Amino acid sequence: MRKVHGVLIAFLLVVLMIVAYPVSASILWYNGDFNGSGSSMSNHHKYESYGGGSYFQSDSLVYDDFIVPAGGWTITSVWSNNFFTDEVSVSSATFEIRSGVSAGDGGTVVASGSANPQMSTTGRISSNGLVEYEVRISGLNINLTPGTYWLSVCPTIQSGDVYSYNSATSGSHSFGQPQGNNGNSYWYVFEHYGYGGEYTRNFEDVSAYLDETTDYSMGVEGEGGNPVPIPGAVWLLGSGLLGLVAVRRKRDRR
């Protein structure tokens, strides 16, 4: 009887550990590493004042899609991989998560914000010698229900002649869904020049714009789904153990 009780107690402890153990943050979606192509797209916020109402402004944002499966996600950080044309001087970064994006339509902003990003080199260098940096925004707590979303993570550049380009990817080392290059990326651009002229691209389909299927290197980290469920096999084992105890108790009473 003591042996059966011991097994039952051990089972209950395992159940409690499964229920109480938190799901640690991990990569939920990553669209892949730089593919070495020349298809990286400008991705930055930039503003320069010339005085007297004359200024240059460039907002250029790349959006790419990811799929949240059943159970939903809690996002704790987002990032994009970017090449910079000169000395890196980033004052902040913004992020947006949208749903319902299509050509010419930005859909609905589900979550957005800005922060001082963590900057780190990835070890990858473009063919013309530009160094790639990961631009990461952390400390988030965003709950997403199942569905398709588009992410943008865009650095704000301080110094005058620096530009940033979101790295193109074909899906190498990608994780999550969709994996790699499904060509479902979009580009929003607004530029104002010192002489008053303006230039816009309102959620341009990047693959159509470049005449090639292209996606971009960015990712999402957090917790996936609901707390880990107790597998049916574990419940079945527990039921069997409980039945065993009941039978043993009947025998002890005889």
pLDDT, tens digit, 9 for 90 and up, residues 175-211 = 999 977 899 999 999 999 988 899 999 999 999 999 9
Domain-embedded: residue 48: yes
Domain-embedded: residue 3: no
List CB contacts of 39: < 8 A, sequence separation 6 or more: 168, 210, 212, 214
List CB contacts of 29: < 8 A, sequence separation 6 or more: 66, 67, 175, 176, 177, 219, 220
The position carrying tokens 């409690």 is: 16
Domain-embedded: residue 250: no
Domain-embedded: residue 6: no
Asked whether 81 and 122 are in contact (CB, 8 A), the reply is: yes
Domain-embedded: residue 252: no
- The model's pLDDT over 123-166, given as tens digits with 9 standing for 90+, comes to 999 988 999 999 999 999 999 999 999 999 999 987 667 889 99
Number of domains in the chain: 1
Domain-embedded: residue 230: yes
3-class secondary-structure state, position 15: helix
The position carrying tokens 């292209």 is: 214
What is the percentage of the chain residues whose pLDDT exceeds 90? 66
pLDDT, average across residues 49-54: 86
Domain-embedded: residue 245: no
The position carrying tokens 């990858």 is: 124
Of how many residues is the chain composed?
Answer: 254
> From CA 111, how far away is CA 72, in angstroms rounded?
15
**Residue numbers of the domain that contains 197:** 25-237
* pLDDT of the residue at 2: 53
